[in-house]
Amino acid sequence: MNILLIGYGKMGRMVEKAALMRHHKIVHIIDNEDNWKDLDYEKVDVAIDFSTPYVVEDNIIRCFNHFIPIVVGTTNWYSKLNDFKLLAQKEERTLFVASNFSIGMFIFNRINILLAKIMNNEPSYEVSIEEIHHKHKLDAPSGSAITLAENIIDNIDRKDKWVLDAFEAKSDEVNIFSRRIGEVVGEHSVLYSSVIDDIKLTHSAHSREGFALGAVLAAEFLKDKKGYFTMKDLVKV
C-alpha cells in the first residue's frame, strides 16, 4: 500500500516503522499545513492519522474529498464523530476510528463490557477507572479511558456519565483518575469496589509498537471497503 502519514510525532514514527516492516510505502508525510501543498493525492491508497484534535476533522474531510480511506488514531475530537460516521456511510467514503489500536486493549475492553453487564445487577459495587500515561501526553482523560467509561455507562443502568478526577463522584457517575508519570506507555485499570472485596482489571502496554501495528493492520483491512469501521470489525472477538 501507498500510505499517507498524517502526524509525525512519536506515534507517527512508530507507524512508519511498522508499515515499512510490512512492506508498505510511505509516499507522503503531513506534519504541518504546508505539507499538504505538494501532496499528490493520486499516489495515496490509504491515510493514517495520528495528528492533533484541532486538525483531525479537516484531515478527514480532505481525504473524503479525494476518496482516500483514512484510519484515525487521534483522540479527543469525538463530538463530531457521529457526523463523520453518517457521512462515510451516506457518501460511501471510508473511515476507521479507534481510541486504541492495541489488540490486547480491544480484548480488555470486551472483558470490561462483559463485567459491566454482570455488575448491572450488583449495586453494592462502585466502579472507577484509573489511567496512567507518560508526562508528555497532553489530553486527559485518555481516549481509551473514555471508551472504557462509555461502555460501562452503556451497560450499567445506574451510571449516566463520567467525571474526571472528582474528589467524590456521585452515584450516577464513573470517576476517571488520570495520572501523568515519567515515560509510562499506558496503563488502564477498571476497579469495582465494595465493603467486602475489590475486583480489578488492568491492561499495561509495554511499548507503542502494538498501537502502531494495529493502525497498519486497520489500514490493510480497509482495502476495497466503504463505510465506517472500528476495532470491532478488525478483531473478531
Residues 115 and 172 in one domain: yes
User: How does pLDDT run across 113-136, given as a tens digit for each residue?
Assistant: 999 999 999 999 999 999 999 988
Residues 169 and 81 in one domain: no
Count how many domains the chain has: 2
Residues 45 and 19 in one domain: yes
pLDDT at 38: 93
pLDDT at 237: 59
Listed in sequence order, the residues at least 6 apart from 135 whose beta carbon sits closer than 8 Å to its beta carbon are: 180, 181, 182, 183
Residues 8 and 21 in one domain: yes
User: How does pLDDT run across 27-80, given as a tens digit for each residue?
Assistant: 999 999 999 999 999 999 999 999 999 999 999 999 999 999 999 999 889 899
Q: What CATH number does the domain containing 124 carry?
A: 3.30.360.10
d(CA 93, CA 17): 27
pLDDT at 208: 81
Question: What pTM does this model have?
Answer: 0.78
Residues 198 and 181 in one domain: yes
Residues 180 and 221 in one domain: no
Residues 108 and 56 in one domain: no
Catalytic site positions = 133, 137
pLDDT at 75: 86
Residues 186 and 229 in one domain: no
Residues 147 and 177 in one domain: yes
* Residue whose C-alpha is closest to residue 213's, from 44, 8, 16: 16
pLDDT at 143: 86
Burial 107-143 (b: 16+ CB within 10 A, else e): ebbeebeebbeebeeeeebbbbbbbbbeeeeeebbbb
pLDDT at 163: 97
User: How does pLDDT run across 193-208, given as a tens digit for each residue?
Assistant: 999 999 999 999 888 8
Position 222 confidence tier, pLDDT thresholds 50, 70, 90: very high
Q: What CATH number does the domain containing 38 carry?
A: 3.40.50.720
Residues 121 and 199 in one domain: yes
Residues 192 and 140 in one domain: yes
User: How does pLDDT run across 74-115, given as a tens digit for each residue?
Assistant: 988 989 999 999 999 999 999 999 988 988 998 999 999 999
Residues 147 and 227 in one domain: no
If you average pLDDT over every residue of the chain, what do you get?
A: 94
What domain range is 73 assigned to? Answer: 2-101+209-234
